[in-house]
Structure 1
């Protein structure tokens, strides 16, 4: 859509951001095909005129007409360059365009018009290639983020009408059929389907969504019919927050990038002074040819343009951040790509990070001749009337085993202790050891017996949760529940340890539970019984001990610790406002294996940055020496020392996003 159409629909002003945070669209007019773009037309026109000038000068002997042709090349290809040079000069800033303008003007003054034209033409081509590479990187982000459709079918007055997503209200129902993209974040109120969340989270397999499940704008309904109640407006969706995050990431530079920016500020005027010295000292103090040393000074100016050095880091960072976004890993800026390479300790929250944060029935222990089936059936029948997390786990276990539940009457729930109810005229109770003692008129220890007490002590020491099922004076069985460790946790911890990164767990849980998880995963250390403020203090201690510390948490109760760490990494950021706002890196899918990808990406990106910086310095230094010695010409300085080097740097950076190296 055009800028005017966008502004009308999205209420964007004339000075809006490059990427719209409500729809992900470019506020400028749609890009024309490459062959229709003005820049390419200028390049082709300049090339033809330049070739004509060469023919006029070398084949037809028309020197004056040739000079006119070369001046025309400067006028066509150099107009924007010269304009930029004068704007910089008015602000007392000696930019790259200023160096090129001086070099071209000097070449014409000493009778090298063809080289002056070549300098302008080749520099314009170099600028075009840099802009094209940057546009490709920016466009790849925009294409990734511009996922949600602009219109949706909403249910109104008993029928379906198609309206713009920005015109929808919270609570309205939208219809999404198989193959359609989900237009807005919401809850499924009707239907069931497999939803492809890979554009948003990087998950390889579609996720089954049914009534009550949350879905997100930009994901794809692969199979069935869904009706979704809108829970977020178009400018509040997960995808709109990602767009804003990516837009802001461009302003957060790495230390290397910031250093090169500062270096370039002082570098350009220094080069001008050296070039002046080269042009003045040999002719006026050593009696050498002014024309020859003036020409060498011009070559030095051109070859010293820090184009390749200036773009070596940002183009690499953009490429790395874009590649990560495609994998469902959001990095808020280049500084965090660089910081990740230096991490010495990875600190994990336990619940929801190393573990799934959901209890499951791990074991059922029958007593007094009762069966596994009977205990689970009775316990699930009672828990069906409760909303406690334990209840969900027990009922799910019964569902998984296809156990038919029984009716319960006279149900009574005691918060934090247990519950009881009648099943087929008999009263059953389910709860912890304290609850059992309170219910029974006799001494609770006599009711439990030696065998039950032994089992309870064993599971308590392992940090597992236990629930007792009883009837009258009889303890029928024991149910053991635990928070399941994530499938990818052990592999991730092993990778980190093998790469010299310490693994540490901080948790508010008891020592038994913390010890069990730490032992199973082989963590280097763990700290238990911590409140949120305790975790912050512990991060401080670990930073003093190890230096660079990363914290991985769920982004909600761990927000203070995430903010305190050198790098805060939020798990499962989809749907979590706090995660995206607080963390420096957000893993959109609950997958710890993305940490391995993140570490490898950081190391690869910084490796490419180092390659680009070293290559730029070595080539520029060599060509500067060749320039002073008179071994290269102006067109060689631009074509190889500037344009060629810039292209090499760009191509090297772009391979971060395409090479399968992690």
Structure 2
């Protein structure tokens, strides 16, 4: 299964590719990508080492381990399960559900974390508890004056029980000279026992076992934020096939089958309602808090909850192609587009571990050999330093926060396509908006009807609706709706003729009428001097004018306006309060209408009369002036401008393939208020990542400084190392509390 991170194929000329943007090469031949689902991926540093090993495998062009979602992406030649598990044997990494992660796994079924026992019931926790009892018993034996061999035996048993899982993975690594976290810990514990520090060795083994169990539990909680998305869709559904009703697994349901969904049941697959009426909670897809009315002809999505009525739904997509499945796949794979911060941390970690390991070896050898210091204290201090050589806290600082944030965003109907885009949206300095369908509802309505030659409003709408009935222009639909709302029947039209982009003509009731824009009437030589002030007045109010008239006169003015979204003004105000400025309206509409909409919503700047390439130039100019610029559009018509922006945000994209692929951030419904939410989430994530990096570096630096005067003990080293990892993990989980109202 290919990772769905392709970008728009047709980029506007001169638009530079964004960092992290991929898949736009004109060469249609792309290396195949293979996705594997992994188990036992609990250590970020070990995951990075596993990634490096896979990259060096024959036939592999590139590889990415997605630590947050426990997946591996291999570009190039696919690897067998046996080969991958051999490469991951140092940390007991396993491949689950076969070679390529098939659709059921993408949708969450078969997830390695599903059905796992509570963390406190795992065998390693039980072994750690027994190790603690043995450590206490050893201390009691030492204090009671018992023979030293008895306390030593108790400590040795505690080491074996507490460090069993570590030693199983660490000893093979030592023989291969592969000094990952478990190997470093094994060397430290074995060294402590060799120089007679049995109490410290047992304490370190116990603390490491407990810390690892807690870290895995915290990681599991973070991964559940993504896994919970998959659990929103049922695995079985009732289907009517060949006149019989049957319950089938979703994988066995075909396109065209009819699902029967009763009140209170979840919809298993995307489809179209063919019978019945109900209200559906589709928060799983769009993040909408209120149920949405559905009737025959309306689309419904997998994972939605049917509220009130029984409906029959014709299936339109397979399980693996449903909107929910694609959202889950995009969220899971989003970690592949790593943020610059994560790339920096990974590069730093590759240098840090070897450097500290060499320093520890030097600390063990140089003082005794050069200055004649005692061997035992030097080795002890070196072993303590070796424990802080593992960069787990630093490596996990970014991906865990990113995965948690993207899970939170997806549950609120905001799809962020990668860590780089999450970081970018947190850095935005300016925001550009399309007008139609973004700041406005995109549904023009008739606001004024003005008769000029004794024509009543009803006569005007009846004639206009009769002619516009044959037109496909959006304004024609608004005029037809206005006539229908007043209970008017469109007039019968003869001799109809359309002039695309300008207007139309036809004979109604024996009289010839023309309908179209003011510029078209001027082109035809009609004198508009008598109505010019009215036309300008309506345009200054942000309205669009349609003229109705005879061959050389104007008989009526029909004013239409696109309604501003109720939330638009508040959204712009919230963005300004967040420090984003300027806010800019980019539209192809006329200057007067654009200025009126701009005043209503409160944007700082209005640019009107823009073609798609003009919008691209405008966004590029904003990027030159302000650096990182967001663009909010409808995801299709504004695609070139979305690509040109640092962060392209597509509106109302549920079920729209092009928008899902083109945008960096996709709002799964038309809720504009989710733009400030996405910016807020991006900024909170950036703060947490910065805090995580500070925590990790502070703890490591403190340990290094304590090592030189000899103040770093083994138990303090393990507490500092694993404590940093647990603090970073817990800090990242704070993102789960971010809400749409934030």
With normalisation by structure 2, the TM-score equals: 0.79
The one of 615, 634, 657 aligned to 1:577: 657
Query: What is the aligned partner in structure 2 of residue 414 from structure 1?
Result: 498
Structure 1 contact 103–298 (Cα < 8 Å) conserved: yes
Secondary structure, counterpart of 2:98 in structure 1: coil
Aligned to 1:122: 207
| 1:644 paired residue number | 723
Aligned in 2, Cα 1:239/1:414: closer, same or farther, shift over 3 Å?
same
Which residue matches 1:156? 241
2:391 maps to which of 284, 306, 325 = 306
Cα distance in 2 between the residues matched to 1:487 and 1:529: 24
**Separation in 2, partners of 1:569, 1:534:** 18
SS of the counterpart of 2:441?
A: strand
Which of 481-490 and 72-81 deviates more? Answer: 72-81
> 1:382 and 1:228, CA in 2 relative to 1: closer, same or farther beyond 3 A?
farther
Matched residues in 1 for 2:143 and 2:410: separation?
53
SS at match of 1:484: strand
Structure 1 residue 322, shift from structure 2 partner: 1.8
Shift of 1:93: 4.3
Contact 1:16 1:27 in 2 (8 A): no
Partner of 2:339: 254
Report 1:34-53 matches (<5 A): 34=118, 35-53=120-138
Residue 33 in structure 1 maps to residue 113 in structure 2: no
Kindly state the Cα deviation for residue 581 of structure 1 after the two structures are TM-superposed: 1.1
Q: Does 2:318 align with 1:230?
A: no
Q: CA offset at residue 369 of structure 1?
A: 4.6
Q: Could you tell me which of 632, 654, 659 is aligned with 2:733?
A: 654
How far apart, CA to CA, are the structure 2 residues paired with 1:561 and 1:436? 30
- Matches for 1:486-497 after TM superposition, within 5 Å: 486-497=565-576
Picking from 6, 10, 15, the partner of 2:99 is 15
Q: State yes or no: 1:213 paired with 2:292.
A: no
Q: Does 1:482 align with 2:482?
A: no
Within the alignment, does 1:267 sit opposite 2:346 as a pair? Answer: no
Change beyond 3 A, Cα 1:616–1:437:
closer
Is 1:535 the counterpart of 2:615 in the alignment?
yes
SS at match of 2:319: coil
CA distance in 2, matches of 1:288, 1:176: 79
Matched residue, 2:671: 591
Match for 2:515 among 420, 426, 431?
Answer: 431
Q: For the structure 1 residues 550 and 224, does the alpha-carbon distance in structure 2 shift closer, same or farther, using more than 3 Å as the test?
A: same
1:445 aligns with 2:526: yes
| 1:549 to partner: Cα distance | 2.0
Determine if contact 1:300/1:628 at 8 Å carries over to the other structure: no
Which among 623, 627, 633 is matched to residue 553 of structure 1? 633
Does the alignment pair 1:503 with 2:583?
yes
Q: CA deviation at 1:654?
A: 1.0
CA contact (8 A) 2:654 2:668 kept: yes
Q: Kindly indicate whether residue 176 of structure 2 is the aligned counterpart of residue 176 of structure 1.
A: no
Secondary structure of 2:355's aligned partner: helix
1:606 maps to: 686
> Is residue 360–residue 383 contact of structure 2 (8 Å, CA) maintained in 1?
yes
Q: Shift of residue 48 of structure 1?
A: 3.8
Cα gap change, 1:194/1:532 in structure 2, threshold over 3 Å: closer, same or farther? same
Asked if the contact 1:496–1:502 (Cα under 8 Å) also holds between the matched residues in 2, the reply is no
For residue 24 of structure 1, what is the aligned residue in structure 2?
A: 108
Q: Which has the higher helix share?
A: 1
**Aligned in 2, Cα 1:467/1:536: closer, same or farther, shift over 3 Å?**
closer
- The 1-side partners of 2:437 and 2:735 are apart by 31
Give the direction of change, closer, same or farther, for the CA distance of 1:598–1:30 in structure 2 (3 Å limit): closer
1:606 Cα deviation after fit: 1.2
**Equivalent residue of 1:353, what SS?**
helix
1:250 is paired with a residue of what secondary structure?
A: helix
Distance 2:314 2:605 in 1: 45
**TM-aligned CA deviation for residue 274 of structure 1:** 1.9
* Structure 2 residues not aligned, in runs of 5+: 1-37, 39-95
1:6 maps to which residue?
none
| Contact 2:428-2:580 at 8 Å conserved across structures | no
The 5 A counterparts of 1:68-107 are: 68-86=153-171, 88-89=173-174, 93-107=178-192
| Structure 2 SS opposite 1:414 | strand
Change in CA separation of 1:534 and 1:467 when aligned onto 2, cut-off 3 Å: closer
- Where does 1:320-469 land on structure 2 (aligned, <5 Å)? 320-376=405-461, 379-380=464-465, 383=468, 386-399=471-484, 401=485, 403-405=487-489, 408=492, 410=494, 412=496, 414-416=498-500, 417-418=503-504, 420=506, 422=508, 429=513, 431-432=515-516, 445=526, 451-460=530-539, 464-469=543-548
Change (3 A) 1:242 1:58: farther
In structure 2, C-alpha distance between the alignment counterparts of 1:228 and 1:634, rounded to whole Å: 64
| CA distance, structure 1, for counterparts of residue 618 and residue 200 of structure 2 | 64
8 Å CA contact 1:25, 1:142 repeated in 2: no
SS in 2 for 1:184: coil
Matching residue of 1:136: 221
- Asked whether the equivalents of residues 297 and 628 of structure 1 are also in contact (C-alpha less than 8 Å), the reply is no
Distance 2:730 2:519 in 1: 68
Compare 342-351 and 83-92 and name the one that shifted more.
Answer: 83-92
Number of paired residues?
643
> 1:60, 1:557 → 2: CA distance?
84
> Which SS does the other structure have where 1:591 is aligned?
coil
1:273–1:234 distance in 2 versus 1, CA, 3 Å: same
What do residues 247-276 of structure 1 show as CA deviations (whole Å, max 9, x unaligned)? Answer: 211222222222111111111111122222
* 360 and 61 in structure 1: CA distance in 2 versus 1, 3 angstrom threshold: farther
Go from structure 1 to structure 2 and tell me whether the alpha carbon gap of 1:412 and 1:168 turns closer, same or farther (over 3 Å shift).
Answer: farther
CA contact (8 A) 2:590 2:609 kept: yes
**What does residue range 610-649 of structure 1 map to in structure 2 within 5 Å?**
610-639=690-719, 641-649=720-728
Shift of the alpha carbon at 1:191?
Answer: 2.3
- The Cα offsets for residues 318-353 of structure 1, whole Å up to 9 and x where unpaired, read as 222222122111112222222122222222223222
1:168–1:412 distance in 2 versus 1, CA, 3 Å: farther
Deviation at 1:141, TM superposition (A): 0.9
Between the aligned partners of 2:303 and 2:610, the Cα distance in structure 1 is: 38
Assess, with a 3 A threshold, how the Cα gap between structure 1 residues 118 and 185 changes in structure 2: closer, same or farther: same
On the 8 A contact 2:223/2:404 being kept in 1, the answer is: no
Q: Any conservation in 2 of the 1:429–1:469 contact (CA below 8 Å)?
A: yes
Q: For the Cα contact (< 8 Å) 1:71–1:117, is it kept in 2?
A: yes
**1-side partners of 2:313 and 2:481: how far apart?**
25
Change (3 A) 1:223 1:398: farther
Deviations 1:542-565 (A, max 9, x none): 322221222222221322332332
Task: Give the C-alpha shift of residue 245 in structure 1.
Answer: 0.4
Aligned CA distance change for structure 1 residues 470 and 91 (closer, same or farther; 3 Å): farther
Listed one character per residue, the Cα deviations across residues 594-630 of structure 1 (whole Å, up to 9, x for unaligned) are: 1111111111111122222222222332233233333
Distance change (3 Å), C-alpha of 1:163 and 1:472 = same
Secondary structure of the 1:232 match is: coil
Structure 1: 5+ residue runs without aligned partners? 4-11
CA contact (8 A) 1:22 1:234 kept: no
The equivalent residue for 1:7 is none
After alignment, is 234-243 or 563-572 more displaced?
Answer: 563-572
Q: In 2, are the aligned partners of 1:19 and 1:27 still within 8 Å (CA)? A: no
Q: CA deviation at 1:241?
A: 0.8
| Contact preservation (8 Å) 2:514, 2:550 | no
